[in-house]
């Protein structure tokens, strides 16, 4: 992400009037290796392959704001790995994470976490420090720190199904586990900010598991944790939230938690999200990533993009797909999305 990209993103996040609708995509290890024809393990473990891959993509699409810029990640492995999750790596796929907390009560016996030294967190931080100057030298910056959210992390550690039942059956333990995960997330984000340096001014929290609970559970379990995370960072930092499961029960609460930008899934039409929350959150979405983004023709991508843009009226929106970029989204469909945006922006400028 170039400094001017970040300025644009921040303006949009603050709901300022934008002369042009910007475009941002979350790209990460589910998509990049396949797009460039490299192996996942090489992408994760060979710093040169990782650097060149990200450079190639930033150069190919200079108009796109990539969130969170250059992302040092091991799929979703970092957070659960610090709390004892088992991680399995694949040659051609993102890693799998296995819960190991078979009895929630055993969380009391977990060794104290240490974000600077634990498992894939330590390795990620080291990669940030190794690559940072090289990235800055390309004219890009690292403005955003990133973490899976507390519900997602708790589900990784405990198992999603088990954790969902804990919410009902062992609420006091569920709160305890969430408290642990919230502290971990905050410390993890802060550690990344230290490693990245003064260009950081935003947090990005991904938590789909929030989308599986009703509003009452959201308010009791998820909201206080999300708010604690947002409150732990300066007021003027941009706070981005991703959830491409169901946002029906939580969407109205997200601004109160402290978020400025929402990246959500294909299930909820932008017209509905805008009606419910459009004046209080910047909407980053939501062209259907798989059925249209991967499987659609460029003409279908164009139509879907224009549909999203028109429903947004060009206000409080950053064009994106509904979620992360899906593995297999081809070049011509990304181009079709960008062309449709140009078309929209041009006709708006003339209006």
Partner 1 sequence: MPDYALMNQCLYEGKAREVEQMTRDALAGGCSVREVLLEGLIAGMSVVGEDFKHNVLYVPEVLIAARAMKAGMTVLKPLLGPGGDTNSTGRLLIGTVRGDLHDIGKNLVCMMAEGAGFQVKDIGVDQSVEKFLAAADEFKPDVVGMSALLTTTMSYMKVVVDGFEQRGKTGIKLAIGGAPTSQAFADEIGADGYGADASGAVDLFLSLLEKKNAPAQ
For residue 168, give both structure tokens.
């009902």
Whole-angstrom distance, CA of residue 72 vs CA of residue 44: 8
Helix axes 331-350, 298-312, angle to 10 degrees: 40
In the set 81, 124, 326, 345, which binds ligand B12 (CB under 6 A)?
A: 326
The smaller minimum CB distance to partner 1, of residues 90 and 102, is found at: 90
**Interface with partner 1 (CB under 8 A), residue from 60, 92, 105, 231:** 92
Q: Where are the beta strands (DSSP E) in 10-159?
A: 24-26, 65-67, 86-88, 96-98, 144-148
* Least gap, CB of 341 to partner 1 (angstroms): 25
Q: 185: Cβ–Cβ under 8 A, 6 or more apart, which residues?
A: 79, 147, 148, 149, 150, 153, 205, 229
User: Closest Cα to residue 257, out of 284, 222, 285, 292?
Assistant: 222
Residue in 1, 302, 323, 340 binding ligand B12, rule: CB under 6 A:
323
Choose the contact partner of 152 out of ligand B12, partner 1, none; CB within 5 to 8 A by kind: ligand B12
Q: What residues from 142 to 171 belong to the interface with ligand B12 (CB under 6 A)?
A: 152, 160
The site map against partner 1 for 44-83 (x = CB under 8 A) is ----------------------------------------
Distance CA 83, CA 305 (A): 40
Judged by CB under 6 A, does residue 96 bind ligand B12?
yes
**Residue 214 binding result from partner 1, ligand B12, none, given CB thresholds of 5 to 8 Å by partner type:** partner 1
Binding map of ligand B12 across residues 210-249, x = CB under 6 A, - = no contact: ----------------------------------xx----
Work out what residue 45 binds among ligand B12, partner 1, none; the CB cut-off runs from 5 to 8 Å by kind.
none
User: 88: which strand partners?
Assistant: 96
Q: Which stretch binds partner 1 (CB under 8 A): 94-102, 115-123, 225-233, 279-287?
A: 94-102
Shortest Å, Cβ 157 to ligand B12: 11
Q: Which of 324, 336, 340, 341 binds ligand B12 (CB under 6 A)?
A: 324
User: Parallel, antiparallel, or unpaired: how do β-strands 86-88 and 261-264 relate?
Assistant: unpaired
From residue 336, how far is each of 5, 291, 302 by CA, in Å? 21, 15, 6
Q: Is 265 in the site for ligand B12 (CB under 6 A)?
A: yes
The answer to whether the beta carbons of residues 169 and 217 sit under 8 Å apart is no
Q: How far apart are CA 189 and CA 183, in angstroms?
A: 10
Given 2, 41, 160, 255, the residue binding partner 1 (CB under 8 A):
160
What six digits make up the tokens of 174? 């569920």
By the rule CB under 8 A, 169 interacts with partner 1: yes
Q: Which does 92 bind (CB under 5 to 8 A by kind): partner 1, ligand B12, none?
A: partner 1
What is the widest separation between alpha-carbon atoms in the chain? 64
96 binds partner 1 (CB under 8 A): yes
Question: Of ligand B12, partner 1, none, which one does residue 265 interact with (CB within 5 to 8 Å by kind)?
Answer: ligand B12
Q: Which is nearer to partner 1, 150 or 202 (CB)?
A: 150
| Short-list 328, 307, 286, 323, CA closest to 26 | 323
Q: DSSP of 250-308, one letter per residue?
A: TGGGHHHHT--EEEE-SSS-HHHHHHHHTTTSEEEEEE-IIIIIITS-HHHHHHHHHHH
Binding-site ranges for partner 1 (CB under 8 A): 30, 34, 88, 90, 92-93, 96-98, 160-161, 164-165, 167-169, 212-214, 217, 246, 248-249, 290, 294, 326-328
Binding-site ranges for ligand B12 (CB under 6 A): 28-30, 75-76, 93-94, 96, 152, 160, 208, 244-245, 265, 289-290, 323-324, 326-327
């Amino acid at each position: 992400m170039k400094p001017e990209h970040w300025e644009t993103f921040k303006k949009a996040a603050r709901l300022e009037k934008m002369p042009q609708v910007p475009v941002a995509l979350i790209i990460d290890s589910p998509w990049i290796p396949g797009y460039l024809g490299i192996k996942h393990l090489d992408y994760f473990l060979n710093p040169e392959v990782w650097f060149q891959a990200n450079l190639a993509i930033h150069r190919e699409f200079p108009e796109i704001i990539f969130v969170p810029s250059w992302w040092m990640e091991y799929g979703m492995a970092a957070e659960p790995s610090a709390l004892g999750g088992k991680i399995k790596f694949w040659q051609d796929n993102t890693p799998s994470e296995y819960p190991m907390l078979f009895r929630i009560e055993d969380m009391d016996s977990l060794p104290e976490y240490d974000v600077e030294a634990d498992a894939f967190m330590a390795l990620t931080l080291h990669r940030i420090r190794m690559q940072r100057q090289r990235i800055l030298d390309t004219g890009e910056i690292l403005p955003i720190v990133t973490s899976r959210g507390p519900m997602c992390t708790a589900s990784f550690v405990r198992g999603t199904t088990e954790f969902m039942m804990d919410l009902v059956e062992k609420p006091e333990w569920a709160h305890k586990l969430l408290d642990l995960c919230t502290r971990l997330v905050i410390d993890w984000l802060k550690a990344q900010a230290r490693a990245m340096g003064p260009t950081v001014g935003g947090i990005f929290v991904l938590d789909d598991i929030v989308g599986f609970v009703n509003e009452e559970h959201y308010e009791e379990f998820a909201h206080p944790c999300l708010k604690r995370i947002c409150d732990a960072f300066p007021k003027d930092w941009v706070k981005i939230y991703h959830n491409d499961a169901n946002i029906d029960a939580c969407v109205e609460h997200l601004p109160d938690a402290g978020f400025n930008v929402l990246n959500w899934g294909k299930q909820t039409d932008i017209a509905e999200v805008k009606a419910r929350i459009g004046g209080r959150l910047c909407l980053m979405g939501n062209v259907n990533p798989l059925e249209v983004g991967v499987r659609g023709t460029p003409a279908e991508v164009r139509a879907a993009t224009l549909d999203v843009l028109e429903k947004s009226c060009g206000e409080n929106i950053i064009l994106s797909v509904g979620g992360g970029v899906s593995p297999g989204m081809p070049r011509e469909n990304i181009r079709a999305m960008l062309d449709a945006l140009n078309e929209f922006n041009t006709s708006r400028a003339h209006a």
